[in-house]
């Protein structure tokens, strides 16, 4: 989402961008795991410090499906392959915004 102005509101939903991944599998927050920043935050600089960080030779290569940072189009493709309704997800994002 790009917000260009507030008065009047002008916003755009971009077709491409970067998707940043956590380096630990997500689990619902509990008192025991709440401070595990690698599980709950997608901050790239933070996750680069994780032993599970996955760099790729060129982080912007189309089709890179394993890196901790990848193209948004690659994420959509991966989700579709896993049986997710990407169009529904995109609609929910639009509704939320």
What are 40-85's pLDDT values in tens digits? 666 777 767 777 777 765 545 555 566 777 788 888 998 999 999 9
- pLDDT recorded at residue 60: 52
DSSP state of 60: T
Token pair 């025991």 is at which residue? Answer: 32
Q: What tokens appear for 70 in the block?
A: 């990848």
- pLDDT recorded at residue 28: 82
Q: How many Å is the maximal CA-CA distance in the chain?
A: 45
Token pair 């401070």 is at which residue? Answer: 35
Q: What tokens appear for 60 in the block?
A: 């912007």
What is the pTM for the complete model shown?
A: 0.64
Q: Where are the domains of the chain?
A: 17-85
Strands (E), the chain: 2-6, 9-12, 18-20, 69-71
Token pair 């790009």 is at which residue? Answer: 2
Range among 21-25, 32-36, 77-81, 83-87 rated most confident: 83-87
């Amino acid at each position: 989402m790009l917000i260009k102005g507030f008065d009047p509101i002008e916003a755009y939903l971009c077709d491409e961008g970067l998707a940043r991944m956590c380096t630990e599998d997500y689990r619902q927050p509990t008192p025991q795991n709440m401070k595990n920043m690698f599980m709950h935050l997608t901050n790239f600089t933070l996750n680069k410090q994780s032993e599970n960080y996955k760099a790729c030779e060129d982080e912007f290569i189309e089709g890179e499906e394993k890196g901790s940072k990848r193209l948004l189009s690659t994420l959509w493709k991966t989700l579709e392959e896993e049986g997710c309704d990407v169009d529904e997800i995109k609609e929910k994002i639009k509704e939320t915004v």
